[in-house]
Amino acid sequence: MLETFNSLMMGFAVAFEPKVFMYAVAGCIIGTLVGMMPGLGPLAGISLLLPATFGLNPIIAIVLLSGVYYGAMYGGSTTSILMRIPGEAASVMTCVDGYAMTQNGRAGPALAIAAIGSFFAGTVGVIGLMLMAPTLASFALRFGPPEYTALLLMGLFVLAYMSGGSMLKTLAMAFFGLLLGMIGIDVMTGYTRFSFGLVELGDGVGIVPVAVGLFGISEILMTAGQAEPPKVQKPKLRELIPSREEFRLSVGPIIRGSLLGFAIGIIPGSAHVISSFVSYGVERRLSKHPERFGKGAIEGVAGPESANNSAATGAFVPMLALGIPTGPVTAVMIAAIMVHGILPGPMLIEQQPELFWGFVASMYVGNMVLLILNLPMVGLFVNLLRIPYAYLYPCILAFCILGCYSVSNSVTDVWIMLGMGAIGYGLRKFGFDLAPVALGLVLGPMLELSLRQSLAMSGGTYAIFLERPIAVTMFGLALLLLALALKPVLFKSRDWRADVGLDDKTDGAPPGK
Amino acid sequence: MKTFTSVLRSAVLAALVLSPALAAAQNYPSKPLRMVVPFAPGGPNDILGRLIGQKLTEAWGQPVVVDNRGGAGGTVGLEAASRMPGDGYTVAMGGTSNLALAPSLYAKLAYDSVKDFTPVINVAVVPYALAVNPTVPAKNVKELIAVASRKAGYLSYGSSGVGSMSSLAAEMLKSMSKTDIVHVPYKGTAPALTDVVSGQIDMMLADLALIKRHADTGRLRMIGVTGLKRSAAAADVPTIAESGLPGYELSPWFGVVAPAGVPKDIVGRLNGTIAASLKSQDVIQRLGGLGYEPLGGSAEQFAATIKSDIAKYAKIVKTAGIKSEL
């Protein structure tokens, strides 16, 4: 324990070296700017910057990249809240209530709570990482395809709590998302499905173009379709600070989101993207006023934002402790230090203590820098809303196209984004909620792959799911979730849905209409 | 006088017409180069592409812009490269998978590995190794075959996807040893290797460098390398051929190609500069860190390797019965 503390102090000494600290700050600033580009999220941010780090020393390289990573996550929530444009899958949920808050004139509090929640979650993540990395990592290794299947199934049942409209519409949209997830090469057999002969569709439909199209582009189209231009907001300084009530409501979601996110984050694989969806579902389920969700509930921003930040930190546990990348982001990070001939893994802590602890400390420093940097900037960001829509929206559209293209230099992605924008516009006109599409698209391919991997392992028998304790426990939880969701349907008891009204036509409508 | 002017005029004209070809070779390179990397940044292909790009920049003073175009196992990027002008200002970092294996794997491949590219140089060989989870009771390939023969589907192997080099290497092992091992494909090498380490699946063939990290800490047991000779990076590990499966050999490589039609002297300059850089100490060290062995050689040798490997992999794909309709 004392040893850990001493090592961490050494780490802070490294992180606060002027040169290293400068790069941490630079990373956070670059990351925030990249994240604010519509469609560009953390992965795109660090992939674009990776080549620039090859000439730096490995500690600085990883400090810079983790700064960019956290910065981009924060920047992504800024655009989600202000413009309904998610930078990545994890901030889709933030779009829903965050943007609704903006329309209610509460953009400042939403941004501030997102920053505070992220900071708290980052702290929880770093402490967890520091104290429990070796233990957690070996536990995480017990997660094989069957456990993964159970976890993802749980994620799917969260759907029931995700949307305020009719259950039928929610399920229809989730189904649409799952169908989109079918596109591409079937990993088990190598055959392509629904690719219409386009090589670019071979790897499937990316979540970023779909999310930006469905949420961002459709919003621009909706606004353009109104008879009168929406009023430009003039936020006052007083309105930037969250009210006491908003703080009170956010405490629980932030704590729960942080713990939940960290737990999901340490599991190897890409499951951490579902942490924000799960957190949103949990908060809605626990809330006394679930009908407020979707119309600017601060809990709907606080929970998912915290969850996605601590999941990001949790994802570093298997990477640092075992040298196993947990997802694309950590894979790029590993590449960044491997270029310098350093192999991450169990030996890293002993062989490169400055790198390991410097990295841990700099993650914390990065979180702090972001908070200090971003709280005063909230006012500046909110002022973006003062720009008349006639100028703002064409610029956003241009940036969406630019951002979407630069992720993988693919024009196909741009077309997918624009097509999804049109589909999203149509669906919203009919009162469909779009968040389930994103969840379906994220979950579908992962669920299918892990289910079929499990069955390949067991030679086709489903008994494999009952033989493994972790999987059984999670299936139990998933069934419980399902039962809770079905209860009002089966017993015709008064559900919160009754208070919401089946056809939620207010979705997407501007304030004051 | 008039005749002289016209002669002069036509001479100037001729020079102007002919000069691009001539000047192109003499002044080459007079503008930045583009290095197409058909994978996302951060992977071995990308690291190699950037390393070569950096060396070309150091030698010629012209920037080399790396253009990452990932997708469909590296075939999307190569297809894009094949459509760019063959003037020597575009090169691409190809490999066994997208140059030699893809033609027999993908029925609708949009390029011809031989006709659409000018081979430049074979850069490095990527040694593959066979690893099992330590709980598998096999210390060498012979014992592994014995264990696998007990019952069909007794063992499982992980791969980075159907039709990837890692699945091909395992299918080759299966068909040569007449065993039935269950294939569990993953999306990428890393998640598959994670599950071999944790014992969800039993074995895998992958980059030696990746496996070595886990073998050094006892999380995996490395029982053979795929090359014709033992690898310098793990000299105590026998080849699969000597460890119980004679005739087994697989040596995936990475190499630089350019679009078809690059003038011969430009190919020569590219080849010479890259070949020289492959002999420099820092490149050898960087490649060694990744577990790669530098190759080099002439453009003609590389062309021959591509051709012979296309035939070789066509045979393996046919015997193992792998196909894709992409």
Residue B187 has pLDDT above 70, yes or no: yes
Q: Is A505 within a domain?
A: no
CA pseudo-torsion sign A218, A509, A88, A267 = negative
- Whether A136 has its CB under 8 Å from any CB of chain B: the answer is no
DSSP string, B258-307: EETT--HHHHHHHHHHHHHHHTSHHHHHHHHHHT-EEEE--HHHHHHHHH
More confident of the two residues A97 and A154: A97
Measured between alpha carbons, how far is B149 from A157 in angstroms, rounded to an integer?
42
User: Is there a domain that residue A506 lies in?
Assistant: no
Question: Which element (helix H / strand E) includes A185?
Answer: strand A184-185
Q: How confident is the model at residue A76 (pLDDT cuts 50, 70, 90)?
A: confident
Domain of residue A36: give its range. 2-500
The answer to whether the Cβ–Cβ distance between A190 and B322 falls below 8 Å is: yes
Q: Which residues contact B90 (CB under 8 A, 6 or more apart)?
A: B33, B34, B36, B81, B84, B258, B259
The answer to whether the CB atoms of A187 and B185 lie below 8 A apart is yes
First-last CA distance in chain B = 67
The DSSP bridge partners found for residue B101 are none
What six digits make up the tokens of A378?
A: 């909230």
Q: Which of residues 36-65 of A touch B (CB under 8 A)?
A: 47-48, 50-51, 54
Top mean pLDDT of A87-91, A343-347, A499-503, B247-251 is at B247-251
Confidence bin at A503 (pLDDT 50/70/90): very low
Residue B257 confidence (pLDDT) above 80:
yes
Q: Which residues of A touch B108 (CB under 8 A)?
A: 197
Q: Which of A169-173, A188-192, A234-238, A461-465 has the lowest mean pLDDT?
A: A234-238
Can you list the domains of chain B with their CATH numbers? 34-125+252-320 (3.40.190.150), 128-234 (3.40.190.10)
- Is residue A510 predicted with pLDDT exceeding 70? no
Domain contains A262: yes
Number of domains in chain A: 1
A371: confidence class by pLDDT, cuts 50, 70, 90: confident
Which tokens sit at A246?
Answer: 């908003």
Contacts of B182 in chain A (CB under 8 A): 456-457, 459
Rounded CA gap, B189 and A32, in Å?
31
Residue A459 gets the label, from left (phi > 0), alpha (psi -120 to 50) or beta, of: left
- Sequence-distant (6+) residues with CB within 8 A of A351 are none
Give the max Cα distance, chain A: 66
> What is the DSSP track for A262-331?
HHHHTSSSSGGGHHHHHHHHHHHHH-S-GGGTTS--THHHHHHHHHHHHHHHHTHHHHHHH----SHHHH
**Res A193 pLDDT > 60:** yes
Has residue A496 got a pLDDT over 50?
A: yes
pLDDT of residue B291: 80
Among partner residues B110, B198, B322, which is closest to A199 by beta-carbon distance? B110
Structural tokens at position A429: 């006109």
The mean pLDDT value for A479-499 works out to: 67
Give A477-486's long-range contacts (Cβ < 8 A, gap of 24+). Answer: A477/A154, A478/A150, A478/A153, A478/A154, A478/A157, A481/A154, A481/A157, A481/A158, A481/A160, A482/A157, A482/A160, A484/A285, A485/A157, A485/A160, A485/A161
Comparison of pLDDT for B41 and A14, the residue scoring more: A14
Percentage above 70 pLDDT, chain A: 87
Closest CA of chain A from B216, distance in Å = 10
Rg (CA), chain A: 22
Name which of A141, A317, A411, A468 to mutate to probe chain B: the one with the most chain B Cβ atoms within 10 A of its Cβ: A141
pLDDT, average across residues A107-111: 89
A389, containing H or E segment: helix A389-408
Nearest CA distance, A222 vs chain B (angstrom): 33
Give residue-wise pLDDT tens across range A132-160: 776 777 777 788 899 889 888 888 887 76
Q: Where are the beta strands (DSSP E) in B126-270?
A: 128-132, 156-159, 182-185, 203-207, 221-225, 253-259
**Shortest Cα distance, chain B CAs vs residue A452, angstroms:** 9
For residue A206, the chain B residue with the least C-alpha distance is: B71
A210-220 pLDDT, tens digit per residue, is 988 998 899 88
Instruction: Give pLDDT, residue A86.
Output: 84
Question: What is residue A353's predicted lDDT score, i.e. its pLDDT?
Answer: 77
All residues of chain B having their beta carbon less than 8 Å from the beta carbon of residue A325 are 190
Strands B128-132 and B221-225: antiparallel
Residue A138: which of A5, A331, A324, A1 has the closest Cα?
A: A324
H-helix or E-strand spanning residue B121: strand B117-125
So what's the pLDDT on residue A337? 75
A442 within 8 A of A86, measured Cβ to Cβ: no
Per the domain annotation, does A144 fall within a domain? yes
The answer to whether residue A511 sits within a structural domain is no
Q: Which amino acid appears at position A28 of this protein? A: C
* Predicted complex ipTM: 0.76
How many residues make up chain A in this entry? Answer: 513
Identify the pLDDT of residue B94. 92
Task: Determine phi and psi for B237, rounding to 5 degrees.
Answer: -95, 125
Whether A483 and chain B come into contact, CB under 8 Å, resolves to no
Dihedral, CA of residue A170, residue A407, residue B69 and residue B227, to nearest 10:
-80
Supply the pLDDT for residue A164. Answer: 66
Tens-digit pLDDT profile for residues A221-230: 988 888 777 7
Q: Is A196 on the interface with B (CB under 8 A)?
A: no
Higher pLDDT, B244 or A356: B244
> How many other β-carbons are positioned within 10 Å of the β-carbon of residue A44?
22
Which amino acid makes up residue A128? Answer: G
Is residue A193 within a helix (H) or strand (E), and if so which, with residue range?
strand A192-193
Give bridge partners of residue B92 from the DSSP assignment: B36, B257
pTM greater than 0.90 (yes/no): no
Average of per-residue pLDDT across A154-182: 83
Q: Choosing among A187, A405, A412, A464, which should be mutated to test the B contact, i.e. which has the most B CBs within 10 A?
A: A187
Residues of B in contact with A50 (CB under 8 A): 41-42
Residue A34 has pLDDT above 50, yes or no: yes
| pLDDT single digits (tens) B210-222 | 888 888 888 899 9
Average pLDDT, chain A: 82
Residue A217 lies in a domain: yes
Task: Give yes or no for residue A511 having a pLDDT over 50.
Answer: no
In 3-state terms, what secondary structure has residue A194? coil
Q: Residue A470 domain-assigned?
A: yes
User: Running DSSP on this structure, what letter comes out for residue B255?
Assistant: E
pLDDT tens-digit series, residues B161-175: 887 888 889 999 998
Helix and strand element counts for chain B (H, E): 11, 11
pLDDT bracket for residue A287 (50, 70, 90) = confident
- Specify the range with the lowest mean pLDDT, choosing from A2-16, A105-119, A311-325, B236-250: A311-325
- Å from B227 to nearest chain A CA? 23
Is A307 part of any domain?
yes
